[in-house]
Amino acid sequence: MSNKLIFIMLDGLRYDTAVSQMGYMHHLIEQGKAARYKVKSELPSLSRPLYEVLLTGTPVYQNGITTNQTVRLSKEESLFHLTKKNGLTNATASYYWVSELYNSAPFNPMTDRIQLNPNNTIERGIFYWEDHYPDTHLFADANYLLQTYEPDFLYVHSMNIDDDGHKFTADSKEYRNRAIAVDILLASVLPQWMDAGYQILLTADHGMNDDGQHGGTTTADRDVPLFLISDQVKPGIHEEEIPQLQIAPLACELLNIKPAAAMQQLSIQILKGAPSI
């Protein structure tokens, strides 16, 4: 059984849109290859704070990344730190805020776009800084990193769903069509990535409301999907609502590494052999 993991984060994808628009992902579920859960995001339902939540498993009041304008390195132990600590390799194709959290801040587009330094917390990184940077390019960046470096942990951060949500609102054909477009990209890359022995964890940071914004407490702001493809996970559609703070310790379990001391203990019963909730 492989413990290699690709963590895909689709920025701004709300749960109901994922359920209604992502046909390929649901094909995998229907064929017993994937599982789907609902995740309740932490607050505030903003991007940079929730990047830190997803990658460190710590709440905002603790980690101090409270706004999108909090530009500094994380003080927590992230999945990137933990993979290096355990002798695993890591890579990412991500929005530049991820670099600012775990490699260096502030980000300089002229020097920091491509970072290939095994001494960094993020060892191999390709970063973008415009929200409309095409997801087609982003997944090509991720595929390059996978084929070239074969990292044990690959974090892929897509921004186009969030971008269209802000431009056109969640109740728009543009937002729904962008979710379909990402699903088609997933259908193009996931078969190869799964054949290469990778488990897949796919989720979102936050949702999007019908005003084209997020940050609040509504289900539109907070409810996001979790898709899992792994021999360790029970396939199918599951109705349990998972706290977002459980995602990082779940990733550690899939990677077969010890979680950080600041992370919650993994309490959700997702893995095969675990008693049902």
**Domain assignment present for 240:** yes
pLDDT at position 276: 42
Domain count, the chain: 1
**Domain assignment present for 276:** no
Segments of the chain with pLDDT less than 70: 1, 273-277
**Domain assignment present for 60:** yes
Question: Quick one: DSSP state of residue 246?
Answer: G
CA–CA dist 79, 85 (Å, integer): 10
pLDDT at position 273: 64
**Domain assignment present for 203:** yes
Q: What residues make up the domain containing 173? A: 5-255
CA–CA dist 41, 51 (Å, integer): 11
**Domain assignment present for 266:** no
Which amino acid does the sequence have at 4?
K
**Domain assignment present for 112:** yes
pLDDT at position 239: 87
Q: Which residues of 45-70 are buried (b: 16+ CB within 10 A; e: fewer)?
A: bbbbbbbbbbbbbbbbeebebeeeeb
36 strand-pairing partners: 227, 237
The answer, as to whether pTM is greater than 0.85, is yes
CATH code: domain of residue 228: 3.40.720.10
CA nearest to 132, candidates 93, 95, 173, 92: 95
What confidence tens digit (pLDDT) does each residue in 153-198 have?
999 999 999 999 999 999 999 999 999 999 999 999 999 999 999 9
pLDDT at position 42: 98
Q: Count H helices and E strands in the chain, helices first.
A: 12, 9
In contact, 30 and 178? CB cutoff 8 Å: no
**Domain assignment present for 96:** yes
Question: Quick one: DSSP state of residue 139?
Answer: H
CA–CA dist 69, 75 (Å, integer): 16
Which amino acid does the sequence have at 221?
D
Instruction: Using DSSP, state whether 192 is helix, strand or coil.
Output: helix
**Domain assignment present for 63:** yes
